[in-house]
Structure 1
Amino acid sequence: MAARYGHGGDVMVADLVVHRLAFALRVDEHFSREPLGEPVEVRLDTGEPAVDSLSGSARHSDGTYRWANLSDGLRRVTLRSASGRWVRWDPAPLDVVVPVPDQKTALVAEMWPTPLAAAPPGVSTIRGKLVGAGVAGLRVEIDGTGAPPTGRWTFADAQGELMYLLPGGPWPMTAARLLDLTISIPGRTVAGVEVLPGPTSFTGAQFAIPPQREIRARFHVL
């Protein structure tokens, strides 16, 4: 509480407003599991606004969005990217029950890059297109050949296009020091891969790309 003096020496006492944190939600990029650098729209179905950061943005410097002074009860959270560069593919509804067990620990939601997103510098990135019948909305997984699955995945959009990031590692390498990768699409067969420019063609689902670069590829799907 702060005090200041008015004219004539009268003391005026300013009220101290205290906000009770209800919960914080961090929005991560799916492939890196790091906070999304771009602000997105995060809304509650009950309409309460998030608490702005000191910069005036709803996104705080640690990548969280925060709500305070909420009454107890269920809230459903929706995420939207105004730029169209990010999408939430997880089909599970994002529900939060207030009070949460631990207000100091942020809840986490993930978003996926769309083909409109920029490739992160130094990260192996595939801008892919599925070629074949009925490829819109197919789930795509790309892992190191012979390596355990990473648990990462994405969906092709209505045009069969996708953006797939390969951060971290180590990744299996070919003798030519290329990333040795295999694509899988549940319920479908990948007959071949073309890595552009060139193209460099591969038969089947196994293919190779230069590391730490952005490449384009066509995946032929049966």
Structure 2
Amino acid sequence: MTVEIALERARVHYGPVEALHGVGVPVPAARLTVLLGRNGAGRTTVLRALAGTVPLTSGRVVWGGADVTRVPAHTRARRGLAFVPDSRAVFGSLTVTENLELAAPGPLPGALPYPALAPLRSRTAATLSGGEQQMLAVSRALLSEARVLLLDEPTQGMSPAMAARTYALLREAVHGAGRTVLVAEQRLAEPLREAATVVYELLRGTVAFAGEPREALGRASPADPSPADRAG
């Protein structure tokens, strides 16, 4: 498989604490990849490193065969990378419509990714519930022209029905639009098992497992991170 974007021998520090210890995560092009791990394992740091929002201490980020380690986050975004953090990155003072218009390259489609957002178009993002803000953040990424989508626990705060909708949308982004999708989650939900090509599992800032979803089934859950590892 062709690799779209990858971390190579990546080390990341938060002050004196090393969150990633020489991690390598190649993400195949036009596929859905899952990054598993408990809080503090390094999942979020991997996404931030790929997106350019956290610097590497050593190692590199390679995208499309080019070293982009020193390319700033806003430039990576302009080149086609969308990052949806777990903090629900939306503009709170803007309406739902205005948030989406900032991301979409042209007029908004009549049908939004989440029909539940339609009656909320005139609401400011700050007045939405956590799950609604998460739907808005994911919608912004899906409506953009980004070819690489990085999503950190995208279903956090959503109802089961909306979570299922989210996984269906991500699957369509891959199989219908040929996008590259990397999803960080604490567990391998059934829709992800069915849609993913590769699964990585992080443990204390290292890759403890890399393989197919069926190989990940039945593996023992990683141990809880020590206090020193919680920066990841």
Higher helix share: 2
Question: What's the TM-score, normalizing by structure 1?
Answer: 0.28
Higher strand share: 1
Question: What's the TM-score, normalizing by structure 2?
Answer: 0.27
Q: Answer with 1 or 2: which has the greater Rg.
A: 1
Higher relative contact order (CA 8 A, sep 6+): 2
